[in-house]
Amino acid sequence: MASSSSSSKTGLKKMLTLKSSDGDEFELEESIVIQCQTIKHMVEDGFSLIPLQNVDTKTLTKIIEYMKKHAEKTESNKEEIKNFNKEFVKGSFDDQFELVSAANYLHINGLMDLLCQSIADRINNKSVRAVREIFNISNDYTPDEEEKVRDEHKWAHEGGEFDESLD
Amino acid sequence: MDQTIERSSNANRTFRVQAPLVDSVSCYCNVDSGLKTVAGARKFVSGSKLCIQSDISSHAHKTKNSRRERSRVQPPLLPGLPDDLAIACLVRVPHVEHSKLRLVCKRWYRLLAGNFFYSQRKSLGMAEEWVYVVKRDRDRRISWHAFDPTYQLWQPLPPVPGDYSEALGFGCAVLSGCHLYLFGGKDPIKGSMRRVIFYNARTNKWYRAPDMLRRRHFFGSCVINNCLYVAGGECEGIQRTLRSAEVFDPNRKRWSFIADMSTAMVPFIGVVYDGKWFVKGLGSHREVLSEAYNPDINAWSPVNSRMVAGWRNPSISMNGRLYALDCRDGCKLRVYDESTHSWIRFIDSKLHLGSSRALEAAALVPLNGKLCIIHNNMSISIVDVSSPDNQLTKFRLYK
């Protein structure tokens, strides 16, 4: 892939090692890993073993899967990447939240966008009650307060049918 | 109120179009469709306005809020995520869902009431442009409707405050990207008004703003650098036709007079083009007049160019070019050519919709970089002016 050939010596691909918070090590080509801004900066500073204390093995495995796939990105496999992304964001909120935190920590912008958008999309067309259930948010409005807020926005709800399901 | 909306949806009466706003980028708006001839100018409102967005001024309570938030333990926005990441997710929820977000819990309500949420949306390119349209029923009442181009949905706005429910000849413009202002106009009972109100697309509510200095209706207006300019028009009394002009700066929340026009006029068309505000209207002896206002030197000057001579309502200034209709339904467009000083054919979509009043184009507004044609029946066509051969046409009828 197009990447920092400056550090690749005599055709040999430069390898880096990522170490998860559980102590597991993953060896990867530099060209894949530098999608991640945080690591890119460490590589520029001369590191080749990168300890990631905020990322556990399970999350790091997923992130490596994402980076590998996206390193293959070309003009012709857009559809494939799109399908990969769609599959990638399936999973429990716990896993997704772990991934968002890791993507944020590692500064992988594309992954941040993908995950945040997928979490946001869970809200679309859902009823208020379903949104609370999905995200485990407790309703701190009194019935009167809630009615008042509802009144403020009743014009926006007319004719709208909301989905009460939780998926 | 349901009744009003019901009625309005059945009525194909004159309406005005107000351009994108929500938490949007830039917009134009254009007024009454009814005006087809110069003689009609006195009966209908007219004119078009440029509205440019700038940042919303931050409110003092913002800092108060964050202080309060820091000093109190409160539940996370999204349990399981730090708040900054929760916000990164929530700003990606489309505007059409925002009223629902406010209902989820108090923290979400406060998040959406603050400026941070919307400035984040803007900086991430999530801000949306919507089209706002005002419509007049057969019983003369007006109502506003918003078109969300992403989901192709029309939504009613909360009812216009009483003073404006039957007003004629008022102005409308978008300031600060999300505030839809209504100003001046004539109430059937109270007569000419100085009244100014605005709708905040972020809170979905109407508010009062400082009155104009002069009562006026059927005047011209435009927005330059997020300041609202009004000029001319009429006022009941001895001096019917007005020369005076005023400007409103939303940051200072104050109206002040600018230079008078050289002649009193009732403008029926206007546009901001080449840094100047062009208006064309009827003088006190019903003669057609044209003037241009230069905000840099605060001066009006008469204009007598071929641009003005061939200029018809509705028109729009977009990416530095001036467009107008070449067929009443908007199937053909003209553009003003600077080099030959003439209006030339720009697009012929070969998709003539028909000649009925309902299909006539009422206004042209910019929408997400494209030119949006609003028809009297509230259907919308969208033209990509950057690639005239690749015309994209969409239609959406109201209900």
Give residue-wise pLDDT tens across range A84-142.
999 999 988 889 999 999 999 999 999 999 999 999 999 998 999 999 999 999 999 99
pTM of the model: 0.78
Interface of A with B (CB under 8 A): 93-94, 97, 100-101, 104, 112, 116-117, 119-121, 123-124, 126-128, 131-132, 135-141, 145-146, 149-150, 152-153, 155-158, 162
Cα distance between residue A65 and residue A75, in whole Å:
20
CB contact under 8 A, A100 and B156: no
CB pairs < 8 Å spanning A and B? 100
Contact present, B15 and B136 (Cβ < 8 Å): yes
Interface of B with A (CB under 8 A): 2, 5, 75, 78-82, 85, 88-94, 97, 99-109, 155-159, 203-205
Mean pLDDT across the stretch B251-261?
96
What's the token pair of residue B46? Answer: 């007219």
Residue to test with chain A: of B89, B107, B121, B207, most A Cβ within 10 A: B89
CB contact under 8 A, A104 and B105: no
Identify all chain B residues contacting A136, using CB atoms and an 8 Å cutoff: 79-80
Contact present, A96 and A104 (Cβ < 8 Å): no
Whether residue B31 is predicted with pLDDT greater than 70 in this model: the reply is no
- A11 phi-psi bin (left φ>0, alpha ψ -120 to 50, beta other): left
Measured between CA atoms, how close is B159 to chain A, in angstroms? 9
- pLDDT band per the 50, 70, 90 thresholds, residue B326: confident
Q: Select from B150, B112, B113, B116 the least CA-distant residue to B131.
A: B150
Cα distance between residue B354 and residue B350, in whole Å:
12
Tell me the residue ranges of DSSP E strands in B210-341: 220-224, 227-231, 245-249, 254-258, 265-273, 276-283, 288-294, 299-302, 315-318, 321-325, 332-337
What's the token pair of residue B311? Answer: 């200029």
- The ipTM value here is 0.86
Mean pLDDT across the stretch B96-118?
92
Averaged pLDDT score across all residues of chain B: 80
